[in-house]
A and B are shown apart, each in its own frame.
Chain A
Amino acid sequence: MSGFDVIGEAKNGEEAVSLYITFPKKPDIILMDHRMPIKNGIEATKQILNINKKSRIIFTSADNSIKQEALSIGAKYFLDKPFSITELIDKIKKVSINLE
């Protein structure tokens, strides 16, 4: 709707990393939840940033306690749930500014 396409969805952190690896063209932005089965968002974020430190990750979580950690490891923004669509699109646009 706002000019962005969702190219993939993962059910957990493990799947997220695997999916990222398989993409021939990496996603411009990743929306990362935190509390997921098998691997959580923080671990998945670290791994993805290890593969490509330019990855743009927007953290979204109902668990506010990991906000500082998420930002410190490289997430661009942290959205506290519940957040509105407007807030989400706003953050996506901000992150997209310097996209090539």
Chain B
Amino acid sequence: MNEKNSLSETFESKVLDSISEHVIYYNKDFEIKWANRTAADSVNLSPLELIGKKCYSIWQNRISPCENCPVLDALNTGKSNSVEMTTPDGRVWLVKGYPVYNINKEITGAVEITREITDLKETEKKLRDSEEKYRNLVNNILDQIIETELDGTITYVSPQVYDIFGYKPEEVIGRRSIQFVHPDDINIVKEAMEKAVKSGEKISSEYRLKHKNGIYVNIASRGQLIKRGNYHKLIAVIRDITAQKKAGKLLKELEEKFRTLAEQSFLGIAIIQDNLTKYVNERLTETFGYSIDEIMSWQPGEFLKTIHPDDIKFVVEQVRKKQLGEPNTVDQYQFRGLKKNGDTIWLEVFSKTINYEGKLADFVTLIDITEKKIAEEKLKKSEKKYREAFNRSNFYKDLIAHDINNILQNILSSVELSFLYVDEGKDLNELKPLLKLSKEQVSRGANLISNIRKLSELEETKFITQPVEATKVLNKSIEFLLKSYQDKKINVDIENPYKAITVQGNELLTDVFENILINAVKHNQNSSVEIKIKVSKIQKDGLEFVKFEFEDNGIGIPDANKQIIFQRAYNIDRTIGGMGIGLSLVKIILTTYNGQIWVEDKVQGDYSKGSNFIVLIPEAETK
């Protein structure tokens, strides 16, 4: 047979030319004797151009055969062989070599059949990589993967089966998965499997599986039916949720405990998050008068309506600072709240930032301290009253002890001197001044006691004012003055343009005028006491007043003393001062009238020329 083109025209060569594999016939010297079109096309040559060439020089650019060449192997061993080879262009080939025998069973050559498997290799590599990835995933996750037949027979478990259940994979493969399920949960598992098979969807369920040590493990499972051709399996991921269940149970118990405590607490409790009320207890609803439903349906920020407008700024600032974690936030403070009915209440609040359902929230406890505040106020007032009463008591004690003693001293000295004069045989007329002094002291004492009584009454009871004819009272007071000091030369001059003057006063108006007039005489060293009384009307602060001015020629009052003389005697240092409480009584009386009194110098700038006592009394309204 012409080896050069013996096959070129035959039917067989036409067939061989149409297949996708390379078909090459080699002689014993490993030279190409015939090649099909596919082989020739793969190197852009014609079949004729390949004849006589060595394949390794064409396809591998080599000068010697490739290692493990299956064709050479077939020529040498007479056995067929195959090998995968990669050509320099990166393509991968499956090369098979078959020996060719003559009728004498002598090797005459070899046939190479080569198929490109580059794509197959790539696919295989991808598959391998994917499998590797999958295997790593499966082996390293905490969850277990299980594969079963549709009847539940275990065909695969991931290595985690040992960590979770204590079994080695080979101990469970081939067994029915239902064998490991808690008797009370078997129906759950059966239903889940049936649903997965019927629906083809992922089915989740929770049940208990037995550990090798006999204890049941709480698991959560998510499984699905996988159908790929003949492959019908149930695949599930199993997670040990024992700790989760325990934590969940504990959480529930704690929540239950919290709710019980919160509901029984006498403190109002609220949790505020994102300006919404997330939780309130019964006590808090009672405090504000809103129902739980009302409070829980409030819009963001609506809880602010429970805070008194005057305190909102402060409270909101504390809430803001707290939620931002700023320093110097006040944890505990008092503020005024508003009940649903509009009543104001006092509250003491303690607030703490907590983590609630994954976010920061304000945990607020508050207590209604309204009664406590009222009691505190009452106590304060009571203490004040007690203190005032105590001071008053001390004042009167001191007044009586000191001033009365002084009066008694004067009387005693006068009497003793009188006795001395009598013993010495002095003229009776010389006794007169001493007797007069005694008499004056008695009046003084009586006056003092009367003033004390009036002062005391004024401080303890309210005197009602009514229209009083002031001119009549003034005239009577002047009469009294002149009678009391008959041995003194007293001139009283009145400037009163009004026929009748009515002021808002009472029976104590007499004391006002008498005390002022008596002072004018007492503190006067002149031989003649001059008193000028001016009556006028003025308007002050939109009100009508009657103005009485009592100008005298007495010793006057230094500027330093002009205020002191009117002060409530038991508030001042009585060691600097004289006797008596007349002017403080006058001031108190006038205050009850809504009137005023003050003193000026008769001659401005020179107090020694005398004083001018100015009295304002509201004019009574005439009908």
A89 vs chain B, min Cβ distance (A): 10
Which residues from chain A contact B578 at a C-beta distance below 8 Å?
35-37
9 closest A-B pairs by beta carbon, nearest first, are: A62-B405, A82-B409, A81-B409, A82-B408, A82-B412, A62-B402, A85-B416, A81-B405, A40-B575
Distance in angstroms between the alpha carbons of A40 and B577 in the assembled complex: 8
If A35-B575, A37-B577, A82-B409 are given as contacts, then 16 extra A-B residue pairs at C-beta distance below 8 Å, sorted by A number, are A1-B420, A34-B575, A35-B577, A36-B576, A37-B561, A37-B576, A42-B575, A62-B402, A62-B409, A63-B402, A64-B401, A80-B405, A81-B408, A82-B413, A84-B412, A84-B416
Contact of A35 among B402, B408, B412 (CB under 8 A): B402
What is the 8 Å Cβ interface bit string for chain A, positions 70-100, against chain B (1 contact, 0 not)?
Answer: 0000000000111111100000000000000
CA distance in complex: A21, B404 (Å): 33
- Asked whether, in the complex, the Cβ of B576 is within 8 Å of the Cβ of A40, the reply is yes
Give complex CA distance A84, B401 in Å. Answer: 17
Give the docked Cα–Cα distance between A85 and B411 (Å).
12
Q: How far is the CB of B261 from chain A (nearest CB, A)?
A: 61
A37 contacts across to B, CB distance below 8 A:
561, 576-578
A7 adjacent to chain B (CB < 8 Å): no
Q: In whole angstroms, what is the CA distance A66 to B575 when docked?
A: 10
Closest Cβ of chain B to A55, distance in Å, is 21
B406 on the interface (CB 8 Å rule)? yes
Once the chains are docked, how many angstroms separate the CA of A80 from the CA of B401? 11
User: Which of B405, B561, B575 is A82 in contact with, Cβ under 8 Å?
Assistant: B405
Which A residues touch B403, using CB under 8 A? 62
Q: In the complex, what distance in Å separates the CA atom of A66 from the CA atom of B561?
A: 24
The distance from the CB of B402 to the nearest CB of chain A, in whole angstroms, is: 4
Is A38 engaged at the interface, CB distance under 8 Å to the other chain? yes
A14 to B110 Cα, complex, angstroms: 152
Contacts of A38 in B (CB 8 A): 558, 576
Q: Which residues of A contact B374 (CB under 8 A)?
A: none
Nearest-CB residue, chain A, relative to B578: A37
Does B83 interact with chain A (Cβ within 8 Å)? no
The reply to whether B406 and A81 form a contact with Cβ atoms under 8 Å apart is yes
- Please determine whether A85 and B413 come into contact, CB atoms closer than 8 angstroms: yes
Closest to A33 in B: B406
A41 and chain B: residue at smallest CB distance:
B575
Interface residues as binary, B567-600 with A (CB distance below 8 Å gives 1, 0 otherwise): 0000000111111000000000000000000000
Asked if B422 CB lies within 8 Å of chain A CBs, one says no
Measured between beta carbons, the chain A residues less than 8 angstroms from B577 are 35-37
User: Does chain B have a CB within 8 A of A39?
Assistant: yes
Cα–Cα, bound, A7→B412 (Å): 23
* Most interface-central of B398, B413, B416, B575 (chain A CB within 10 A): B575
Residues of B contacting A35 in the complex (Cβ-Cβ under 8 angstroms): 402, 574-579
CB contacts under 8 Å to A, within B103-130, are: none
Q: How far is the CA of A42 from the CA of B561 in the complex (A)?
A: 20
Chain B interface residues (CB < 8 Å from chain A): 398, 401-406, 408-409, 411-413, 416-417, 420, 558, 561, 574-579
Across-interface contacts of B405 in A (CB, < 8 A): 62, 80-82
Q: Write out the residue numbers on chain B whose beta carbons fall within 8 Å of the beta carbon of A40.
A: 575-576
A59 to chain B minimum Cβ distance, whole angstroms, is 13
> How far apart are the CA atoms of A37 and B522 in the complex, in Å?
15
Contacts A62-B403, A64-B401, A82-B405 given; does A39 touch B416 at CB 8 Å = no
Interface residues of A in 10-37 (CB under 8 A from B): 34-37
Q: Could you tell me the distance in whole angstroms from the C-beta of A84 to the nearest C-beta in chain B?
A: 6
Q: Output the nearest chain B residue to A64 by Cβ-Cβ distance.
A: B401
CB distance from A80 to the nearest CB of B (A): 8
Query: B420, B575, B576: which contacts A85 (Cβ < 8 A)?
Result: B420
Q: Give the shortest distance, in Å, between A4 (CB) and chain B (any CB).
A: 14
Complex Cα distance, B558 from A42, in Å, reads: 22
Bound Cα distance from A84 to B577, whole angstroms: 25
* Residues of chain B contacted by A85 (CB below 8 angstroms): 413, 416-417, 420
CB-nearest residue of chain A relative to B417?
A85
Give B461 Cβ to nearest chain A Cβ, in Å.
30
Residues of A within 8 A of B413 (CB): 82, 85
B140 CB to nearest A CB, Å:
96
Q: Which residues of A contact B579 (CB under 8 A)?
A: 35
Question: Could you name 15 residue pairs across A and B whose Cβ atoms are closer than 8 Å?
Answer: A35-B402, A35-B577, A36-B577, A37-B577, A38-B558, A42-B575, A62-B405, A62-B406, A62-B409, A63-B398, A63-B401, A82-B409, A82-B411, A83-B412, A85-B417
A83 is contacted by which of B402, B409, B417, B575 (Cβ under 8 Å)? B409
CB nearest neighbor in B for A65: B398
Q: How far is the CA of A81 from the CA of B417 in the complex (A)?
A: 16
Q: How far is the CA of A8 from the CA of B577 in the complex (A)?
A: 21
Instruction: State the CA gap A73–B260 with chains docked (Å).
Output: 74
A45 to B405, CA, bound (A): 22
How far does the Cβ of A50 sit from chain B's closest Cβ, in whole Å?
19
Residues of A contacting B398 with CB < 8 Å? Answer: 63
- Nearest Cβ in chain A — how far from B424, in angstroms? 8
> A64–B574 Cα gap in the complex (Å)?
14
Interface centre among B402, B420, B558, B579 (most CB of A within 10 A): B402
Distance in angstroms from A72 CB to nearest chain B CB is 16
Least CB distance, A39 to chain B, in whole angstroms: 7
A60 vs B335: C-alpha distance when bound (angstroms): 59
Most buried by B among A36, A64, A80, A81: A81
CB A79 to nearest CB in B, in angstroms, measures: 9
Q: Chain B residues near A66: list those with CB within 8 A.
A: 575
Taking the closest CB of chain A, its distance from the CB of B557, in whole angstroms, is 10
Within the complex, the shortest CB–CB distance from A6 to chain B, in Å, comes to: 13
Select from chain B the residue with minimum beta-carbon distance to A42.
Answer: B575
Select from chain A the residue with minimum beta-carbon distance to B560: A38
